[in-house]
Chains A and B, each alone.
Chain A
Amino acid sequence: MTEQVAVDNLIIWEFDFAMTTFYEVDTDLITPLLPKQISPMEIVPGVSLLNITAFNFPEGGLGYLPNFQELIASIVVTPDLSRGVPKFAMYIFSLGSTCQEHLDHSTDYYKLPSYKKLEYGKINRADNAIEFGDTDGPILTMNNCSTNIGDFLGHERYFQAFVLQDDNLFIADLYLKAALFEHQDQGDAGIINNHPFLKGLELFDEERVPYLQMLLEPGTRGKQFYYKPEKYG
């Protein structure tokens, strides 16, 4: 992966599919997943945001790795504004990938909580729909629930990613340069199963309703500038 490293502590990931959905969930449900030092960023007290993101990294998008799919589960948390003002800060609690080498690298370099190798990550680009699963069964389906796709805006977006490894909390800066359509239309966005990928999180029906979705413009590529995490606090 070394050819992707632009500076010492940065890897640039190129992707050709990205879809992310934020779901409204009970804060009580997600609190057990969070380390003590960080708090959920609730949309109203008692209601937090669970985020599920899927990427497709094409062959060559990340060094010598083949084409593969990635699935990330995180919780929106209070950012650290002393580093800059992000669009969102996430605490990542589960990472799945169809590529074992990518998972190993993510654990090692990014301290990410690699879940395990996923059996499949099906991406339907025409409909903006995905399906992920592993040997424990299907994890989720997710689809765009906006009936009128609007503008794909290409401005840079800054995020923060918190991760926990061996009881140590880390933070990483992450910039996304991609043409994204963001919407908050509330329709049917697919099914999330109570699967071990979600680390025991069990959602009620009405919590599978999306709060916000973002989609990459079809036929384009986006770049993620993902810095190496630093120990936090």
Chain B
Amino acid sequence: MSEQKSKEKKPSYTEFTLDMFSRSSGKNHAEIKQFNQWREDVISADKYTFETPHLTPQTPEIVVRRIHGDEHRLFNFSSYNYLGYANHPEVINAAKDALDKFGLGATGSPLLNGTFDIHKQLEHALTEFFGQEGYGISLFSSGYGANIGVVSSYIHKGDYVVLDHSSHASLIDGAVMSQGTLKLFRHNDAEFLERILKRIAKDNRRILVCVEGVYSTDGDYGNLKDIVTVTKKYGASILVDEAHSLLVAGASGQGAVEKFDVLGDVDLLIGTFSKSFGGVGGCLYAKQELINYMNYYARSRMFSCALDPAVTGGILKALELATGPDGYAKRKRIVENADHLRSLLINKVDIGTSQSWVIPIIFGDERKSIPLADYLMRKGYDFSIMMFPAVKKNKSIIRAFVTSEHTKEQLEGCAEALIDASKEYDFAL
């Protein structure tokens, strides 16, 4: 760099992280122009791997078409179709039956005219699945919608929402919509949480603590036992988002709450149907009187169309399969698969604190993200690449989602590709 020319030099697209385009001062919306410039630069370099259309279902082997038209056959480690129900023949048939019976869309808000018999069947089946007396289910058209609707109708201005630092955007957005005061505690750190609760409990306002069953970037479990204890000590309520753990964690698939035996202490349990169920949608499981209230006052439910009936039929079948022998076998297999992949990677690359089917491979420097995503795709693998601020600075990750459907050979190929990449991109241990 010539010392005088510093200001004129245009940095490469690798210098940017997405947060850097999120906002700009001034009236001219410069963030839109700068973001599009960055996107164009990545596309012209033929490194663009985002928004790549899939030409096949989310099976372990997929075909995608990149932006310049080239098609790639890939091993799929980027879909959260954990138990393979998104394309299970019985699930598809159930969805088709519901489609024939009820039509394409619900065409109405659930409270007014969008509730179908199949929704009631799903509510009933999920309530039975958790099995606590006096509890019920409220359905939402997405997991995102469930979190924003539930948090924002449970908490109001002047109250508190206390979130784990690794919380999903939908919980944060729910907290913002609630107009309550948002506080963050260090990831899984119950002592840190206690310091916050001790201080804010003095205000004598409602406090909602939000955590997750399995964290979608770190792949570790929520520290549910300790966090529930501290939360109860200060009279706060607890929400557990089981997006990545419902049907997968716990012996019968009730989630991390089952694994850590805290189901009875949880005030609000959130599930999504977009992951292990293989569909789309979300739900709240809570005491029936709270469910009744949410059905009227969660705005993302009240002012949005009900869950698609065909998808609901598929979800119902996925639940039926997951609670039977198929589910037990798949849960066993996904754990074995994840353990196997971890055992192949350990001591070769840094896999952080992963304990689940979500396995982050830490490659560090975010400037490698775009080239690395492209490299892996050209090697025949589809992963998600995540960088700051989704993960910590210089702790950028390749995220691998393991499913029960991956074969041993696919997992071994995956480990080999990751280890090769670690040598090529200098993050081998």
Contact = CB atoms under 8 A, between A and B. Distances in A.
B23 A41 contact: yes
Residue of B176, B181, B394 with most partner-chain A CB within 10 A: B394
Contact of B28 (A6, A78, A82, A175): A82
Contact of A184 (B6, B7, B393): B393
Interface size class of chain A, counting residues whose CB lies under 8 Å from the partner chain: 35 or more
Interface string B378-412: 00000000000100111100000000000000000
A80 B30 CA distance: 7
A50 B422 CA distance: 35
A127 interface: no
Interface string B16-38: 10001101111010110110001
Given A80-B26, A206-B195, A44 B182 contact: yes
Given A82-B30, A206-B192, A182 B389 contact: no
Contacts of B21: 81, 85
Interface stretch (A55-63, A106-114, A147-155): A147-155
Interface string A1-37: 0000011001010000000000010000000000001
A82 B24 contact: yes
Contacts of B186: 186, 209
B264 interface: no
B4 interface: yes
A102 interface: no
A204 B192 CA distance: 13
B1 A79 contact: no
Interface of B: 1, 3-4, 6-7, 9, 11, 15-16, 20-21, 23-26, 28, 30-31, 33-34, 38, 163, 172, 175-176, 181-186, 192, 195-196, 199, 364-365, 367, 389, 392-395
27 contacts: A6-B4, A10-B6, A24-B184, A38-B25, A44-B182, A44-B184, A78-B25, A81-B30, A82-B24, A85-B20, A85-B34, A86-B20, A150-B394, A156-B6, A156-B11, A173-B7, A177-B1, A183-B393, A183-B394, A184-B393, A184-B394, A186-B186, A204-B199, A206-B185, A209-B192, A225-B6, A227-B7
